[in-house]
Amino acid sequence: MDLVSEQSEKQVVSREEADAIYNQPFMDLLFQAHTVHRTNFDPNQVQRSKLLSIKTGGCAEDCAYCSQSARNGSTLSASKLMEVEKVLSEARKAKESGASRYCMGAAWRSPKDRDMEVLEAMVQGVKDMGMETCMTLGMLEDDQVHRLKSAGLDYYNHNIDTSERYYSEIITTRTFADRISTLNRVREAGIKVCAGGIVGMGEQQMDRVDMLLSLASLDEHPDSVPINMLIPIENTPMADVQKLDPIEFVRTIALARILMPRSHVRLSAGRTDMSDELQAMCFFAGANSIFVGDTLLTADNPGEDKDALLFDKLGISAMALGCDGKK
The catalytic position among 15, 48, 185, 194 is 194
The catalytic position among 15, 38, 48, 59 is 59
Residue 59 designated active-site: yes
Residue 323 designated active-site: no
**Integer angstrom CA distances of residue 217 from 1, 15, 214:** 21, 11, 5
Residue 282 designated active-site: no
Tell me if 109 sits within 8 A of 55, measured CB to CB.
no
Phi/psi-derived region of residue 316, left when phi > 0, alpha when psi is between -120 and 50, beta in every other case:
beta
The catalytic position among 66, 147, 174, 208 is 66
Q: How many residues does the chain have?
A: 327
**Integer angstrom CA distances of residue 283 from 7, 32, 73, 242, 275:** 20, 13, 35, 24, 13
Residue 194 designated active-site: yes
The Cα 89–Cα 84 span in angstroms is: 9
**Integer angstrom CA distances of residue 30 from 18, 275, 279, 295:** 14, 18, 14, 30
Q: Output the DSSP codes for 98-149.
A: T-SEEEEEE--SS--GGGHHHHHHHHHHHHHTT-EEEEE-S---HHHHHHHH
What residues pair up with 199 in beta bridges, in sequence order? 229
SS3 assignment, position 6: coil
The catalytic position among 48, 103, 185, 257 is 103
The catalytic position among 48, 63, 179, 251 is 63
The Cα 8–Cα 259 span in angstroms is: 10
The catalytic position among 134, 174, 179, 187 is 134
Residue 63 designated active-site: yes
Number of Cβ within 10 Å of residue 31's Cβ equals 16
The catalytic position among 114, 147, 208, 266 is 266
Active site residues: 59, 63, 66, 103, 134, 194, 266
